[in-house]
Copies of this chain bind each other. A is one copy, B any other.
Amino acid sequence: MDENKKISSAVIRRLPRYYRYLGELLENNVTRISSKELSERMKVTASQIRQDLNNFGGFGQQGYGYNVESLYNEIAKILGIDKQHRMVIVGAGNFGSAVAKYDDFAKRGFVITSMFDKDPEKIGKTISGVKIRPMEELKDYIKMNDIDIAALMIPTEYAIDTAQILVDAGIKGIWNFAHTDLSVPEDVIVENVHLSESLMRLSYNLKNYGN
């Protein structure tokens, strides 16, 4: 494909879902699939699938369908998950520990190399083989260990100051679970996971479209 071709953000939002379905097909040793079959599985129209996947050209062929593995690998490349990301978890609380213990992230190339906490009781312990270091070491650790992503999993009141430490250390991306907006330079990417907001959307939809 043309590397410089601009892909719409709506397509990008749908890519991880294609990636998941293609991964499941691969696991079941399916080597090719038509847009019609894929559309039935994914419950989107075949024309939507054709339009979306045409952005990555060359994988769909009339009468053949898609080569599952090629398309899977191509989407991985576009998502930037064909290479490893090195990630630290800031905050070894309940959610931080749950993320450390969840091995699916490593399978997708997000390797957790260390955790950080300010609680002396936790420092030095390991969770699923990941060592908890003191917050004072966070900045140098990021600089010296080629870390590109920090998962920010600390209470809201500390999140903004800690994000500043991450930025000063040269972090590239922040996976923000703190329930606040972070103010960072434009080239530092923030992906928010606001669980409370997710519950509020569920509540809204229950009220308006529920049974």
Q: Which residues of A contact B (CB under 8 A)?
A: 12-13, 15-17, 19-20, 42-43, 78-81, 85, 93-95, 97-99, 101-102, 104-105, 108, 110, 148-149, 172-173, 175, 179, 181, 185, 187-189, 191, 193-211
Closest B residue to A16 by CB, please name it. B197
On whether A15 and B200 interact (CB within 8 A), knowing A179-B104, A209-B187, the answer reads yes
Q: Report yes or no: A108 in contact with B196, Cβ–Cβ below 8 A.
A: yes
Q: Report yes or no: B175 in contact with A198, Cβ–Cβ below 8 A.
A: yes
Query: CA of A42 to CA of B210 in the docked complex: distance in angstroms?
Result: 31
Q: Report yes or no: B203 in contact with A79, Cβ–Cβ below 8 A.
A: yes
Closest B residue to A101 by CB, please name it. B94
Q: Report yes or no: B97 in contact with A199, Cβ–Cβ below 8 A.
A: no
Residues of chain B lying within 8 A (CB to CB) of residue A108 = 196, 199-200
Partner of A188, one of B201, B204, B207, B211: B211
Closest B residue to A186 by CB, please name it. B209
Closest 4 CB pairs of A and B: A80-B207, A94-B98, A187-B211, A16-B197
